[in-house]
Structure 1
Amino acid sequence: MFEDDPHDEGAAVVAAAGEALQALCQELNLDEGSAAEALDDFTAIRGNYSLEGEVIHWLACSLYVACRKSIIPTVGKGIMEGNCVSLTRILRSAKLSLIQFFSKMKKWMDMSNLPQEFRERIERLERNFEVSTIIFKKFEPIFLDIFQNPHEETPKLPRSRKQRRTPCTVKDLFNFCWTLFVYTKGNFRMIGDDLVNSYHLLLCCLDLIFANAIICPNRRDLLNPSFKGLPSDFHTADFRAPEEPPCIIAVLCELHDGLLVEAKGIKEHYFKPYISKLFDRKILKGECLLDLSSFTDNSKAVNKEYEEYVLTVGDFDERIFLGADAEEEIGTPRKFTGDTPLGKLTAQANVECNLQHHCEKKSFAPSTPLTGRRYLREKEAAITPVASATQSVSRLQSIVTGLKNAPSEQLVNIFESCMRNPMENIMKVVKEIGETFCQHYTQSTDEQPGSHIDFAVNRLKLAEILYYKILETVMVQETRRLHGVDMSVLLEQDIFHRSLMACCLEIVLFAYSSPRTFPWIIEVLNLQPFYFYKVIEVVIRSEEGLSRDMVKHLNSIEEQILESLAWNHSSALWEALQASANKVPTCEEVSQDKDDNPVIL
């Protein structure tokens, strides 16, 4: 028998792919242009690479890229990116989970040589997915702490459309609360991939729903009678709803790893004004959101608005966490484990394992580097990602408690003891860095959306306090070591202050799990990696309050600089080597205790 012609085999695969793509596009109601472009790209890639796995999954990747390139004119003579087909719909039709999509999409981008802008879009999408997955895992137990268990309530009986409306169930409330959260989060782009801010926004949504359950007549049956945030007289016969909606933000922060100051800031400056805007636009209505006459309309309106958002702005429909097939579509565990039949436990365990593996690869905590191990604290007990993030911020705030973002009296005395008082110049450098930081932090770019100025000012203030605290510690140590030698030489080095301030800003950004990861800070401050590297050990030795993860993070940056960043063609390292007549220090000189070495850049 003759072997099949490889050209015939390839043609058969392309033909089958064309049929599969046509069926997929018909299901999605896609335009012919996007379908043709997706098939052309798939054919070209398959001609150069071996595509393992199901063809339909690779077609989904190709189709997603084609859809993102599509531009649709709008009524107002504007244009809209995409063709009104969400990523969730594409993946659902192709039976491809989000975790599988990210894995295949990275390979597809490499094979297609897609531009950096598109790669950054996928990175943002993946981070948003990770944040949402973590937040949803926190949402379930907090909801069950405040409200009744949806799994334990009696199912709704089917009714005709002519029948009167029925009160919302706990499950309806669960879905409404999550949808309101993801819709609100989507409209604050600076919050979407920020774990700490997203978590506090979730607490605000839960606080709002709780307040409405309390003030709404005959809806207290939705509440968990053992919740610690209930009014003290809640279980008495003469309980009356308070005139002002109660606030349980403080209780939720205490019980569920929140930061009270941060959560209150989100509620007052972002959440409350936004909810008022939704009432003004008639998206939300009624004296009570859960009232019999308004809940159904409120739920439909919020879902409709969110659907429009997903089609025009977002890619990832986060309501799929609520679906019965969530574990297949995303990889997240089911909403209520009591629903899961025993026969599905093995499959679910595999999915949870995949999710765990995915999140571990993209962990918010850095891996332990080979250098700087001697500075690591003892390993802390295993905690959730949200608890880890909020504890990092809490640890940072405890370090700077009671301090001001200005030189202390002791530091001022050190400045005044110098032959030339450097205080004015130092404060000028810090101010310039602060202005540059705020400008870039609030500015939208292709890589990420800009944050609100309030967030920038808050982060900057923490960094300034930390900067002056560490500077004071360093100067006290140097004064003791050098026994009265004039400190002007060190304090007049602008590069030292710029590097130290940049390091403090990096610590703050890391504590908040900011998507602006290193080397973002040195890029916006136009600082050489070589100089940043030189202050890392100074900071770690001078500030004992840094958490284990913070120290690991700084050490990982140290390695990153040593491995690559310090060796680029414009690096200050080459000038330093030239100035030392190319005399590279020996291993013994580098490894010796640095306590006897001055802090000079």
Structure 2
Amino acid sequence: MRGEESSDSESGRMEESSVRRSLETLCQELNMDEQTAAEAMDNFTAIWNTYTLEGEVVHWLACALYAACRKGSTPTVGKGLMEGNCVSLTRILRCAKLSLIQFFSKMRKWADMSNLSQDFRLRMDRLERNFEVSTVIFRKFEPIFRDMFVNPQGCEAPRQPRSRKHRRLPCHISDVFKFCWTLFVYTKGNFRMIGDDLVNSYHLLLCCLDLVFGNALLCANRKELINPAFRGLPPTFLADGCVPQSELPPCVLEKLCELHDGLVVEAKGIKQHYFKPYIQKLFQKQILKGNETLLTEMLDPQNFIENNKAVNREYEEYVLTVGDFDERVFLGADADEEIGTPRKFVQERAASQAAAQNQQVEKCGSLAPSTPLTGRVYLKEKDLLVTPVSSATQSVSRLQSMVAGLRTAPSENLLQNFKSCSRDPTESILARVKTLGRTFKEHYTNDSEDTPGSHIDFAENRWKLAEILYYKVLENVLVQETKRLQGRDMSVLLEQDIFHCSLMACCLEVVLFSYSSQRTFPWIIKVFKLAPFYFFKVIEVFIRSEEGLSRDMVKHLNSVEEQVLESRAWTSDSALWSSLEVAGNKVPTVEEVSRNCNTG
């Protein structure tokens, strides 16, 4: 027995020695500081001695290193303390030969085994969500770019002359492709509320493409960069292949929305309130060089190399200190390996989370019935009619059409209905809506347990749509109830605070769902402090009163009903119990239920 114990002990020491060598090799490649390396080794050893770790040891070491890296902070000149130790997740994964998708899977297990903090877990959730959105967006970026510009693939860029005396060569199309994507991910990273939002991120991408396209048209008439078949070309270009230098850069945002599933109002809002002011700021800081007034000349030979270097440098700093995941990985030749089967991942995860409202269509892959000719197996990605982006934007478009032409106020007909009541509820209804609006916007713009706060502009937009929908549905409810009750006084219904709060919550739930928000049920009833039981009672009324709801919206509300019926209505503090008591119904005890089941 002693001999066996000695052998096991020696084997354990050899294994630990091997693990330490693997960690040392990894840390040397990353130029990791000793403190972080020691903490990672201590944490790894504790987990290794407690759990069975399947797969390659170096992959688990990468998880331990990442967790240790993210705990500390690094002092910097002029910027105080930076989060982390300036070693990016991308570098860790490259050195450990671990794909992003494998990392997310292993990191979730590591967080459980290590009992990592809730803050760290939320950080991982946001990082994974951001990655999913970026994966979907990049798959849209490539075909849109090829639609606007000549195909960057298969063209080698000419080498820049080493001597500074030589005139700089014009930028190549492959450089423009990479510059446009890097500018997009850098800009997106500076708007935290946009990064994990599919609809907003997509419209930000269209803004970037619009800016770069305008610069290309005015860049000494670089005709060879432009796809002559692009349907957004200005008439002057089609006539003689040139655009006067004195002209403002042409805006093709509307055309891009028309051709590629965008929403003009949303895209223009992103451009006006976020993108354009931010690009102006980059010019003011000399990160971008060119015509600061027109936001042009970025691609001109005298500016492009510096602009490209500056944007990449700034983005690298962002990745090291805040972003973790370097989204330029999509541009690399080894993107598939580094990300880890991205196409399958997008279909199975990004499509379900970033465009949840399209789950049923995603299963069959097409709006057409699944047959040997239309089945997903036989179609290329570009041939599918529905994508996560088109699904999300179509859902928002449907919502906007439901409220088109209506105001954020009761209609004249609704006001007349109010006045016909024995007690006019107009004043109390308007006051309640105002209070609910303040509550919603306050919570929507503040960080919650699992989502970062959004910008007030987005909160205002979501509230505006919900408010219009609320008055529309309320009017429809009154019309239906008046017919059903044969003209009886509606005062009692209109004075019920719970009814109005539940109806507004239902409207907001539909709006948030349409925008693929992470703040879906039960977020809104927590914000309004509504009992799930009361919210449940309004859903059927809402669906019956609004004919414009899409099939996906109805399915989502039905899933909320199921959640309430399955669990939320039966909690100890549920309003259901008091409602049963008021109704005079005797609630059976657990013993009675068990006895009946046994005798049956």
Shift of 1:361: 5.9
Is this contact kept in 2: 1:99–1:358, CA < 8 A? no
Is this contact kept in 2: 1:28–1:85, CA < 8 A? yes
Is this contact kept in 1: 2:408–2:467, CA < 8 A? yes
What residue in structure 2 maps to residue 364 of structure 1?
355
What residue in structure 1 maps to residue 540 of structure 2?
537
What residue in structure 2 maps to residue 121 of structure 1?
123
Is this contact kept in 2: 1:368–1:552, CA < 8 A? no
Shift of 1:575: 1.9
CA gap of 1:382–1:113, structure 2 versus 1, over 3 A, is farther
CA gap of 1:403–1:150, structure 2 versus 1, over 3 A, is same
- Structure 2 CA distance, aligned partners of 1:453 and 1:503? 21
Residue 460 (structure 1) aligned with residue 451 (structure 2): no
Deviates more, 1:198-207 or 1:308-317: 308-317
CA gap of 1:238–1:64, structure 2 versus 1, over 3 A, is closer
What amino acid is aligned across from residue 273 of structure 2 in structure 1? Answer: H
Shift of 1:13: 2.8
CA gap of 1:229–1:519, structure 2 versus 1, over 3 A, is same
Q: CA-to-partner distance for each residue in 1:451-477, whole Å, 9 max, x for gaps? A: 221111111010001111111111111
| 1:508-547 matches, cutoff 5 A | 508-547=511-550
CA gap of 1:386–1:351, structure 2 versus 1, over 3 A, is closer
What residue in structure 2 maps to residue 374 of structure 1?
none
- Structure 2 CA distance, aligned partners of 1:312 and 1:398? 42
Residue 178 (structure 1) aligned with residue 181 (structure 2): yes
Shift of 1:218: 3.6
Is this contact kept in 2: 1:368–1:556, CA < 8 A? no
Deviates more, 1:316-325 or 1:549-558: 549-558
Residue 251 (structure 1) aligned with residue 255 (structure 2): yes
Number of residues of Structure 1 aligned to a counterpart in Structure 2 = 560
- Structure 2 CA distance, aligned partners of 1:206 and 1:142? 9
Shift of 1:503: 1.1
What residue in structure 2 maps to residue 472 of structure 1?
475
Is this contact kept in 1: 2:136–2:350, CA < 8 A? no
Q: CA-to-partner distance for each residue in 1:16-35, whole Å, 9 max, x for gaps? A: 22111111111111111111
Shift of 1:445: 4.5
Q: CA-to-partner distance for each residue in 1:413-436, whole Å, 9 max, x for gaps? A: 211121111111111111101011
Residue 419 (structure 1) aligned with residue 422 (structure 2): yes
Shift of 1:529: 1.8
- Structure 1 CA distance, aligned partners of 2:25 and 2:347? 33
Aligned with 1:309 (options 318, 321, 334): 318
CA gap of 1:199–1:77, structure 2 versus 1, over 3 A, is closer
What amino acid is aligned across from residue 302 of structure 2 in structure 1? Answer: S
- Structure 2 CA distance, aligned partners of 1:120 and 1:72? 22
Deviates more, 1:49-58 or 1:156-165: 156-165
| 1:39-438 matches, cutoff 5 A | 39-75=41-77, 78-157=80-159, 159-162=161-164, 163-237=166-240, 239-241=242-244, 243-287=247-291, 288-331=297-340, 352-359=343-350, 362=353, 364-365=355-356, 383-438=386-441
Is this contact kept in 1: 2:290–2:303, CA < 8 A? yes
Is this contact kept in 2: 1:378–1:548, CA < 8 A? no
What amino acid is aligned across from residue 352 of structure 1 in structure 2? Answer: R
Q: CA-to-partner distance for each residue in 1:506-559, whole Å, 9 max, x for gaps? A: 111111112223222122222222222221122122112111221121122222
- Structure 2 CA distance, aligned partners of 1:56 and 1:484? 74
What amino acid is aligned across from residue 124 of structure 2 in structure 1? Answer: I
TM-score normalised by the chain length of structure 2? 0.89
Is this contact kept in 1: 2:181–2:328, CA < 8 A? yes
What amino acid is aligned across from residue 301 of structure 1 in structure 2? Answer: A
Q: CA-to-partner distance for each residue in 1:27-86, whole Å, 9 max, x for gaps? A: 111111111111111111122211111111111111111111112234458422210011
Is this contact kept in 2: 1:405–1:461, CA < 8 A? yes
- Structure 1 CA distance, aligned partners of 2:535 and 2:369? 26
Q: Secondary structure at the match of 1:80?
A: strand
Q: CA-to-partner distance for each residue in 1:311-346, whole Å, 9 max, x for gaps? A: 111111101010111101113xxxxxxxxxxxxxxx
- Structure 1 CA distance, aligned partners of 2:470 and 2:178? 45
Q: CA RMSD in A?
A: 2.4
- Structure 2 CA distance, aligned partners of 1:555 and 1:158? 61
- Structure 2 CA distance, aligned partners of 1:478 and 1:378? 40
CA gap of 1:539–1:294, structure 2 versus 1, over 3 A, is same
Q: Which has the higher contact order (CA 8 A, sep 6+)?
A: 1
Is this contact kept in 1: 2:73–2:84, CA < 8 A? yes
CA gap of 1:324–1:152, structure 2 versus 1, over 3 A, is closer
In structure 1, list runs of 5 or more residues that go unmatched.
Answer: 332-349, 370-376, 586-601
Q: Secondary structure at the match of 2:235?
A: coil
What residue in structure 2 maps to residue 594 of structure 1?
none
